[in-house]
Amino acid sequence: MIKTTLLESGILHISLNRPEQLNALSLEILQQLASIFDQVKSDHSIQSVLLTGEGKVFCAGADIKQLAQLDGVSGLDFAHLGQTVFRRLECLGKPSLAAIHGVAFGGGCELAMAATLRIAAENTVFGQPEIKLGVIPGFGGTQRLARLIGKGRALEACLTGRKITVEEAYQWGLVNEMVASENLLERAKAILKNLSQYSSIAIKSIITVIHQGYNLSMDEAMELEATYFGLCCTTSDKREGVTAFLEKRTPAFSGK
Mean pLDDT (whole number) for 156-164: 98
Residue 115: closest CA among 181, 75, 43, 59? 59
> In this structure, are residues 60 and 103 in contact, taking their beta carbons and an 8 Å threshold?
yes
What's the pLDDT score for residue 144? 98
CATH number at residue 153: 3.90.226.10
Regarding whether 215 and 191 lie in a shared domain, the answer is no
Confidence band of 14 (pLDDT split at 50, 70, 90): very high
What's the pLDDT score for residue 109? 98
Regarding whether 205 and 112 lie in a shared domain, the answer is no
Q: Is 50 exposed, middle or buried (0-12, 13-18, 19+ CB in 10 A)?
A: buried
> What is the share, in percent, of the chain residues with pLDDT greater than 70?
100
Q: Is 182 exposed, middle or buried (0-12, 13-18, 19+ CB in 10 A)?
A: exposed
Q: For helices 200-213 and 236-246, give the axis angle rounded to 10 degrees.
A: 110
Name the domain count of the chain.
2
> What is the share, in percent, of the chain residues with pLDDT greater than 90?
100
Regarding whether 77 and 49 lie in a shared domain, the answer is yes
C-alpha dist (Å) from residue 194 to 8, 9, 11, 70, 245? 12, 9, 11, 43, 18
What's the pLDDT score for residue 140? 97
In the residue annotation, 182 being an active-site residue is answered as no
What's the pLDDT score for residue 61? 96
Regarding whether 208 and 187 lie in a shared domain, the answer is no
Q: Which of 54, 110, 168, 220 is labelled catalytic?
A: 110
Regarding whether 205 and 83 lie in a shared domain, the answer is no
Mean pLDDT (whole number) for 65-90: 97
Regarding whether 26 and 150 lie in a shared domain, the answer is yes
- Between the two ends of the chain, the Cα-to-Cα distance in Å is 36
Regarding whether 177 and 227 lie in a shared domain, the answer is no
Q: Which of 8, 28, 54, 130 is labelled catalytic?
A: 130
Domain boundary among 174, 195, 216: 195
In the residue annotation, 122 being an active-site residue is answered as no
Regarding whether 121 and 239 lie in a shared domain, the answer is no
Confidence band of 170 (pLDDT split at 50, 70, 90): very high
Structural domain boundaries, residue 113: 2-195
Regarding whether 128 and 64 lie in a shared domain, the answer is yes
- Structure confidence by residue, pLDDT tens digits, 179-203: 999 999 999 999 999 999 999 999 9
Regarding whether 133 and 79 lie in a shared domain, the answer is yes
Average pLDDT over all residues of the chain = 97
C-alpha dist (Å) from residue 99 to 89, 127, 163, 184? 15, 16, 18, 7
What's the pLDDT score for residue 147? 96
- In angstroms, the CA 245 to CA 230 distance is 19
